[in-house]
Amino acid sequence: MKHEYHTVPISEKASFDIDQHFNIEPFFESSTDFLCIAGYDGFFRRVNPAFIKLMGYTREELFASPISHFVHPDHKRNTAETRALILEGVPLLHFQNRYITKNGEIVWLTWTSIPEPSQNLIYAIAKNITHIKKLEEERNFLLANLTKVNAEFKQLTYTTSHDLRTPVNNLISLVSLIDTSTIQNEETLVYLEMLETSAFQLKNTLNEHIDHLNKEDKLNVKVENLSLKNILDTTIEPLRALIKDSNTIFNIDFSEVQHINSNAFYLQSIFLNLISNSIKYSRPRCTPIITITSKKVGNFVRIIFSDNGLGFDMEQVDGKIFGINQSFHDHPDSKGIGLYLVNSYMNSLGGNISLESEVNVGTTFILNFRC
């Protein structure tokens, strides 16, 4: 049966007129999710008890101020841009932002909002994902910190081994300069021979140690022959909702190189970070387009990853783009960890990464993997 709705003056009393058609009172009152009805003017029209309890404000206080008043300052711009799309009739799915409660607590919410132009209303359901965000932050921090500490230990080992080789080589040179024909004491000759032998053994040990570190850097993870298509499909699967909501378009061409010797976990993480970044930092009102191709260049397999997003000012990011905690976009989820991990993974695989970018045009990452 089709129900007809009539436009009425927006007021707190008018927001209850929907009850004339459906008895939604139990739904509003008992739901543990946060249910809200907002006007096109940016004010709440109705909220359920769960949302009132979360925010700590009275119903009257929530109705008295614009919704933007309760949004975290870092999310106001992004929220305003998203709200503009809703007012154009575009439904909002899985949008995340932060709100500030009356006692100053910051909560993460994920929203699904549907506009109703005939009534100038927006119907929204939100879930509290603060605990998930905290776990993500802790995981990313620990992962980044462990990667950094591991890199520092490796660098220290490299430096120590390298620096010790110089005095050892000097010792060998000095021993070789001694004219043993002038030494009559047999015991002294034996000691000199032992000293020379020990010096050469120490030099060989240091060289072997550095060679072993080089191999560990590249082969300390399982390397196998991988299908690029299968890796990409596996990476994309958990991003399906994000890709669908953002209408992201993929252009994939693995015809030149279909397989690569690499580590599945590292490669998936690299793809995951680059894809999620391209969607996260897409230009407003611009459909994200991600192009991924593979090429054979000398002794390298090159994967070229391009997008049409916000891009970078190359003068600003020069030398810093892959550093830890480096953020170059005004985005609440920008933590400066993703590209640091991508670069670390590429180094561990014996490869390298570079980029070309232009503001409001897009970014191209060039991934070089050794064959």
- CATH number for the domain harbouring residue 89: 3.30.450.20
Indicate whether 9 belongs to any domain: no
CATH number, domain with residue 286: 3.30.565.10
Give 247-289 pLDDT, tens digit per residue: 999 999 999 999 999 988 889 889 988 998 898 888 888 899 9
Give 169-223 pLDDT, tens digit per residue: 777 777 788 877 788 788 888 878 878 777 776 777 667 666 655 555 544 567 8
Residue 8 clears pLDDT 50, i.e. is over it: no
Indicate whether 262 belongs to any domain: yes
Give the domain extent around 282. Answer: 224-370
Residue 26 clears pLDDT 90, i.e. is over it: no
Average pLDDT over residues 222-238: 88
Same domain, 35 and 19: yes
Q: Count CB atoms within 10 A of the CB of residue 337.
A: 20
Indicate whether 8 belongs to any domain: no
Q: Are 50 and 33 in contact (CB under 8 A)?
A: yes
What distance in Å separates the CA atoms of residue 343 and residue 322, rounded to the nearest whole number?
6
At 88 the pLDDT is 87
What are the phi and psi torsion angles at 216 (to 5°)? -65, -40
The larger pLDDT score, comparing residue 102 to residue 339, is at 102
Same domain, 34 and 74: yes
At 11 the pLDDT is 39
CATH number, domain with residue 184: 1.10.287
Same domain, 252 and 348: yes
Task: Record the pTM.
Answer: 0.48
Q: Are 91 and 115 in contact (CB under 8 A)?
A: yes
At 283 the pLDDT is 86
Average pLDDT over residues 332-351: 73
DSSP lists the bridge partners of residue 225 as 261
Same domain, 351 and 337: yes
Average pLDDT over residues 30-36: 86
Average pLDDT over residues 132-140: 82
Average pLDDT over residues 230-240: 86
At 18 the pLDDT is 46
Domain finish residue from 163, 184, 219: 219
Same domain, 142 and 239: no
Report the number of distinct structural domains present in the chain. Answer: 3
Indicate whether 3 belongs to any domain: no
Is residue 7 very low, low, confident or very high in pLDDT (cuts 50, 70, 90)? Answer: very low
Average pLDDT over residues 92-121: 91
Same domain, 203 and 252: no
Same domain, 356 and 252: yes
- Mean pLDDT estimate for the chain: 80
Indicate whether 7 belongs to any domain: no
Q: According to the per-residue pLDDT averaged within each range, which of 30-34, 126-130, 145-149 is highest?
A: 126-130
Same domain, 67 and 150: no
Helix 228-236 / helix 264-280 crossing angle, nearest 10 deg: 50
Q: Lowest mean pLDDT: which of 76-85, 112-121, 130-139, 320-329?
A: 320-329
